[in-house]
A and B are shown apart, each in its own frame.
Chain A
Amino acid sequence: MKTLEELEAIRQKTLARISLRKEDKEEAVRVVIGMATCGIAAGARPVLTAFMEEIDRRHLRNIQVTQTGCVGMCRLEPMVDVITPDGNKVTYVKVNPEKARMIVADHVVNGHPVTEYTIGAAEQQA
């Protein structure tokens, strides 16, 4: 069973890392996932989990994963916005865990949006 002692050890380790992080002033990348009824029914929760795991696996820091409500395009859910520190926002549609991992690798880490999964690409097809 997990104990509070274990949590205390995590606190100590994290504190040391946070003090390092404060020195580099790089701004956060924001990953915003649609989590209204439509998003959840379409599979937003495993997408959120995939982002969390991939960010953790790659030891990425300074990534903020957050959520939003329904934006009125339920047929395109799960939708994810990636907002980089330069203020650019890319909207991905019909995201699944596999696409989420690719978005982390190509866009969040390497700065190249995955064009074929964006809302622009989806609307050209329609």
Chain B
Amino acid sequence: MRDLSLHLLDLAENSLRAGAGRISLQLTLGADGALDVVLEDDGCGMEQGLARRAADPFATTRTTRRVGLGLPLAAANAEKTGGYLTLDSVPGQGTKVHIRLMTRHVDCLPLGDLPQTMVSLILTHPEHPDFVLDLHSPRGQARFDTGEIRRVLGPEVGLQEPEVMNYIQHLLTEQCQMVFGGLIS
């Protein structure tokens, strides 16, 4: 994976597969350059045993193959910077992945195109679930919630309409620029 936003797209796929109704992504940049990324869903969750083994490339619930690389790759990229990845999961309640990255470390991946990750997720899942993005930095904060967009649009107009997707992309780009622009690449 070339950047963090691609990892997040990949990990969000796990939440989708877990049947989540709401997937929330929170990015908090501290004054010291530490970036905390929390991906939280209300999907089916995992038994403790599987949750503990999830960062192992050879742990997977798939029956077609014996490897799953999403979490292990993300964990490796966090650890390279002196950070970590932790996973908490409660069966029937959901899963929370916390990735800490030291953005000032030379090996830290760039943030990448976070708006494009959100747009890809929303476009391919326009009806369900809701996606939330929370951004925080010493400069400010912003919040995006497809639930709010849905409330304005009403039941007739779907999120996948090109004009709506266009609006969402511009809104997210403005928000990311406002909170993180110039602070992290």
A interface residue numbers (CB < 8 A to B): 1-2, 4, 6-8, 10-11, 13-15, 18, 33, 35-37, 40-41, 45, 48-49, 52, 55-56, 64-67, 69-70, 72
Contacts and interface: CB of A to CB of B under 8 A. Distances in A.
A35 B13 contact: yes
Contacts of A64: 160
Nearest to B166: A56
Nearest to B112: A45
10 contacts: A2-B174, A6-B167, A8-B152, A10-B161, A10-B167, A14-B157, A14-B163, A14-B164, A40-B10, A41-B6
Give the residue among B1, B64, B120, B157 with the most A Cβ atoms within 10 A.
B120
Interface residues of B, number: 36
Interface stretch (B40-48, B65-73, B75-83, B93-101): B65-73
A10 B170 contact: no
A13 to B, nearest CB: 7
B153 interface: yes
Contact of B116 (A7, A37, A49): A49
Interface in B105-129: 113, 116-117, 119-120, 123-124
B165 A52 contact: yes
A72 B65 contact: yes
